[in-house]
Structure 1
């Protein structure tokens, strides 16, 4: 009976020890993943900071009407499932009307695709390319209120 009790205690202690070891291993593994993820996010933030001047340069290059006075970047950085680093921002202090999003390619260290809000996109539109179709610009302008139309024409240098 005494041997059985000793044997039972040894088994219980062994099972508890193994369980503690497994739990500790899983916890350590999870901690390593969190640290690695944090490091990846920190790298993404640093890369985004390095790339902001290139983004600004590209925005100014497509700004044929010299509409851009200021460029503001949001603080957050996202990494999409494809591995692209996404930064967002806005132009001339208007985050609701003139916002943009940029994907950055970490491996090639390049600015990828840029998307713009519709209002900002129209500020970059080169109407000279549509000289044969003047109705396109007129149709766009008709959709705007008088105040918006005047501001738009001022923004693109037509007034």
Structure 2
């Protein structure tokens, strides 16, 4: 797996969702179309695991998180930036999604959850906010951000 192969794989997903609103209907569609165990889900999960092992994904570390933005919002990814984060029993920094966020949850430990959700997709609508939390073990999370928009909450 190379970053270029990974970009093509992600583009196959973003090309089908770029014109859709980020809402509960998209969440349901993603989980019905590419559920945990489906060929697309497994290809993305394997690509993420390979990218981490090869060192081009999650190549930064801070506060107990391994993370990295592999692609800024590009025409090839239909205007989505692509980040992958490795988390284990931790809450990340609070942030807002001005344009929404699409997450692919890939547990590395059986029973690991992201924001209380198991393996699969999670969609946050525009203006939503959260403190991303992985519980019950380790997980990789792929983040798709329209136009790469994210605003971290200042810590006081």
TM over 0.5: no
Greater share of helix residues, 1 or 2? 1
Instruction: Report 1 or 2 for greater relative contact order, CA contacts < 8 Å, sequence distance ≥ 6.
Output: 2
For the pair shown, which has the larger CA radius of gyration, 1 or 2?
A: 1
TM-score normalised to structure 1 length: 0.23
TM-score normalized by structure 2? 0.23
